[in-house]
Homo-oligomer: A and B are copies of this chain.
Amino acid sequence: MRVVETVQELHRASAAERAAGRRVALVPTMGALHAGHLSLVEIARRRADRVWLSIFVNPTQFGPSEDLTRYPRPRERDLALCRKAGVDLVFAPGVDEIYPPGSQTFVEVTELSRPLCGRSRPVHFRGVATVVTKLLAAARPALAVFGEKDFQQLALIRRLARDLLLDVEIVGGPIVREPDGLALSSRNVHLDPEARTQALALPRALDAAERATAAGEREAATLLGVVRAELAKASRAEIDYAELCDPETLEPAPARLAGPTLLALAVRFGPAAEATAANRPGVRLIDNRLLLAPASPEESS
């Protein structure tokens, strides 16, 4: 497995793969790899000749009060996982490679950046759009694979690739969950035992909404009531949002659902009573499910 740290070297590797007629799939990550990322590597392998994975904790997608510095960076463990998963090349650049001195170019996807996570994280998606544009330009893959847990990010990247006329296929990979249902996230390690238990309220709320729609419920207000009732069972959960929206535009769903609808949740678990806010700043988790969607999510790309 090759580890590349400069853009110039990645450009050369990309040109060589293309000259040899091989299709590269890129899996962009912020590291702290878990089984969710490795499932994306598997999808990449099925669809391409070479699997490349990037590890870059992107500073511009963190707000000033967010967890950039405490975001986990277990580099050697990540590289070992990549090696074991059969990744062909890891791109692990420093910040100056991705943001050269004096850099001042930003990419914005306007409408899709505003709802859901965009409301509480105003600069987040500008950072995501900018770094994804850079990573796709640096690697020039035939396809790139992103997890569906970050559903808004995936919708935005699909839009960005189309709008910027990039010759790349964007593929979504289904959410991977712990045996008890919690969606895998690099941030789960920050949950204290009580919050870890309470975090199951998210998948339970999604399950409850899915059961209700399967039973024929179509009223958005009723479904959101079911969701909020499940979340209310977790005493430390503060709802950032719980919304039903169009899976492509992310616009609010109609009062009566009429087709595939995204149920998206963001919930914050504040510090335990005995911890001060300063030494345990709380953990924000997101999760989602496509309701009324017959096709399997991976095929919907």
- Given contacts A134-B164, A165-B137, whether A105 and B98 have CB atoms under 8 Å apart is no
Flag whether A48 is at the interface (Cβ < 8 A). no
Number of chain A residues close to chain B: CB under 8 A: 37
B164 touches A137 (CB 8 A): yes
**A165: chain B residues within 8 A (beta carbon):** 7, 98, 134-135, 137-138
For residue A107, which residue of chain B has the nearest CB? Answer: B107
Q: Convert A98-114 into 0s and 1s, putting 1 for each residue whose CB lies closer than 8 angstroms to a CB of B.
A: 11101111111111100
**A98: chain B residues within 8 A (beta carbon):** 165
**Known contacts A98-B165, A104-B159, A106-B110; can you find 9 more A-B pairs with CB under 8 A?**
A7-B165, A15-B167, A18-B18, A19-B19, A103-B162, A105-B163, A105-B164, A106-B108, A137-B167
Q: How far is the CA of A104 from the CA of B164 in the complex (A)?
A: 10
**A138: chain B residues within 8 A (beta carbon):** 165, 167
B163 touches A140 (CB 8 A): no
How many copies of this chain does one complex carry? Answer: 2
Q: How far is the CA of A1 from the CA of B167 in the complex (A)?
A: 23
Flag whether A11 is at the interface (Cβ < 8 A). yes
Instruction: Report the minimum CB–CB distance from A215 to chain B (whole Å).
Output: 34
Flag whether A43 is at the interface (Cβ < 8 A). no
Interface residues of A in 5-45 (CB under 8 A from B): 7, 11, 14-15, 18-19, 21
Flag whether A214 is at the interface (Cβ < 8 A). no
Flag whether A262 is at the interface (Cβ < 8 A). no
Interface residues of A in 122-173 (CB under 8 A from B): 129, 133-135, 137-138, 140, 159-160, 162-167
- Given contacts A140-B167, A167-B137, whether A160 and B15 have CB atoms under 8 Å apart is no
B106 touches A107 (CB 8 A): yes
Partner of A105, one of B14, B100, B102, B129: B129
B104 touches A109 (CB 8 A): yes
